[in-house]
Chain A
Amino acid sequence: MLKFLLEKEFKQILRDSFLPRMIFVFPVVMMLLLPNAANMEVKDINVCIVDNDHSPSSERLIQKIGASPYFHITSTAPSYRQGMENIENETADVIVEIPVFFDKSLEKESAAKVFIASNAVNGTKGGLGSSYLSAVVADFSSEIRAERIQVVDHHSSPAITTATTYAFNQSLNFKRFMVPAIMVQLLTILCGFLPALNIVSEKEKGTIEQLNVTPIKKSTFILAKLIPFWTIGFIVLSICFLLGRYIYGIYPEGSLLTLYFFAGIFLLAISGMGLLISNSSSTLQQAMFVMFFFLVILILMSGLFTPVSSMPQWAQYITIFNPLKYFIEVMRMVYLKGSTIKDLTTQLYALLSFMIVLNGWAVMSYRKNS
């Protein structure tokens, strides 16, 4: 019986004027667009310099700031007030004000103040911009100090330097972190939405009644709806793997098989959720709205953009019920750390539970009579 139903579902999907194209266009567009756009790195910070000192030291600090790849010195202003105008008309993100007697006080007191003001409308850019600048200034001051020490005292004093290595993502490549998670988002949208719309559209057309009046088993019906979207999920995921490899040069440290294995479970879970929503909606609008509502929450609370560990405690409890969180963890761990199924047992059990509960619920909530 399943064979005949699967034949029907696959034919309908392939004959749809929209679906087969979407299966290819969606991953390509999202994979080209999002990893470049959803980028937390802050570059190209525009700096406005207010130099009240015009001394060799201030000149040297300005050069040092300009040499950093993060900063562009876009303007100089005669006063802080005029510097603020540059921030207001958005030609500058940060103002660096060097006070009068900067050079002198460095000379005399071997200390001087630099004033940094940043535009915090974009909080990340403002915050990171001023902390990068502080680092540049600190670097500058240690240079000066080192010179002074050499001048004053020829015995070299022991210097402590810190060396940082970033484990698993040495180049701090943000894309290596984002691309695997964006794949999860894509699978969720396609394989969550499509089944949600599928049963409801049969309800709207009235064809579901013709199936309900047959002795078809509820579990067979749900299985026939799940398998096609499961297959689509694997195709989409494979396209994503290829795009990640050839566009961004990102490939998993671990095994692709591990990823496919987890994807198989995750796809069933998320499609089951779609079917569940479909069963309890009577129109396409209802199903769309409900699905959209859940998707936004699931995606924003999955750790895709903001780490779950920095969410408030109550929000972290909510994420326990988010299947996306677990699959994003799996993707990132396999991509970046090369984890194996043995390292991912928590995620495995969580995803299996979602799969069983959501699909069991979908079968039970599908009613052949009223």
Chain B
Amino acid sequence: MKIVIQTDGLTKQFGNFTAVDNISFKVQKGEIFGFLGANGAGKTTAMRMLCGLSLPTSGKGMVAGYDIEQEPEKVKRSIGYMSQKFSLYEDLKVWENIRLFAGIYGMKSKDIALKTDALLKQLGFESERDSYVKSLPLGWKQKLAFSVAIFHEPKIVFLDEPTGGVDPATRRQFWELIYEAADRGITVFVTTHYMDEAEYCDRVSIMVDGRIDALDTPKSLKNQFNANNMDEVFHQLARKAQRSDN
């Protein structure tokens, strides 16, 4: 299998504080890779480095074949990103948000229009085409943000707690979208707090205090920690944590 993300001793320090401490891992093409950890464990910082939003203090990272430190703009061309904070434009309409981001990635107006119609139909959003994004319920906003993040067919999509604050039914629908994307060959790199979601991933890593303490398929992690579910695995590891942001 082809490796699309590879890090080697990736570290990020803010002053004396080591947010991400020497992490090394590989992600294969088409995988759904779960990136778990308690609040403040360093997940978002690690993800921001992989997306070229934050420069590593030391270590190396390759995303989609490009060095994240040397060629961050080339990395950006090959990825999609959905941040923890909802970040579509609330004062733009649904179709306008899609058009804006697709346009930035270099798609032609005509292609954008065609694909927008198909997307809205698939999501069942046709009636909301001309709605302002601020008027949508949170679950719809998240689905839209995800669809925008993969609209330009990136090789990899990074999702930072995409289902935060969303009801269980919508979370399920959201994961269906993730599976569809993975079926199309898009690699999914996702952070989450929900351990049931961890079970949906092909492989998961669990970060504790900036380090990756465990990395395997959910099944072998459960065997390894002698646990019934991922929740127990997570608790056994998270108990060791020295720091937390609350």
A positions within 8 Å CB-CB of B = 1, 3-5, 7-8, 11-12, 15-16, 205-207, 209-216, 368-370
Partner of B104, one of A206, A209, A214, A370: A214
Please name all residues of chain A whose beta carbon is closer than 8 Å to the beta carbon of B91 when the two chains form the complex.
11-12, 15-16
Q: Which 9 residue pairs spanning A and B have beta carbons closest together?
A: A4-B103, A206-B85, A210-B87, A213-B81, A215-B77, A215-B76, A206-B87, A214-B104, A207-B87
Given contacts A213-B76, A369-B72, contact A1 B87 (CB under 8 A): no
A368 proximity list for chain B (CB < 8 A): 52-53, 72-73
Contact of B89 among A3, A4, A8, A16 (CB under 8 A): A8
Check B96–A369 contact: CB distance below 8 A.
Answer: no
Known: A210-B81, A213-B52, A213-B79. A8 touches B100 (CB 8 A): yes
A349 to B53, CA, bound (A): 38
Taking a contact as CB atoms under 8 Å apart, the answer to whether A207 and B88 are in contact is yes
Q: Are B85 and A5 in contact (CB under 8 A)?
A: no
Contact B101 A214 (CB under 8 A): yes
Q: Does chain A have a CB within 8 A of B55?
A: yes
Q: Which residues of B contact A369 (CB under 8 A)?
A: 52-55, 72
C-alpha gap A370/B77 in the complex (Å): 18
Measured between C-beta atoms, what is the minimum distance from B235 to chain A in Å? 31
Contacting A at CB under 8 A, from B86-124, are: 86-92, 96, 99-101, 103-106
Knowing A210-B87, A368-B53, A370-B55, the reply to whether A216 touches B92 (Cβ < 8 A) is no
* Smallest beta-carbon distance A124→chain B, Å: 48
Judge whether A11 and B92 touch: CB under 8 Å.
yes
Q: How far is the CB of B52 from chain A (nearest CB, A)?
A: 6
Contact at B53–A209, with CB atoms within 8 Å?
A: yes
Give the residue name and chain of the A residue nearest to B105 (CB).
Answer: A214
Q: Which residues of A contact B73 (CB under 8 A)?
A: 215, 368
Residues of B within 8 Å of A1, CB to CB, are: 103-104, 106
Query: What A residues does B88 contact at CB under 8 A?
Result: 207, 210
**A12 and B85 within 8 A (CB):** no
Nearest B residue to A214 via CB reads B104
Please give, as numbers and ranges, the residues of chain A lying within 8 Å of B212 by CB-CB distance: none
A213-B51, A213-B53 are known; give 5 further A-B pairs, CB within 8 A.
A209-B85, A214-B76, A368-B72, A369-B52, A369-B72
Q: List chain A residues, Cβ under 8 A from B74.
A: 215
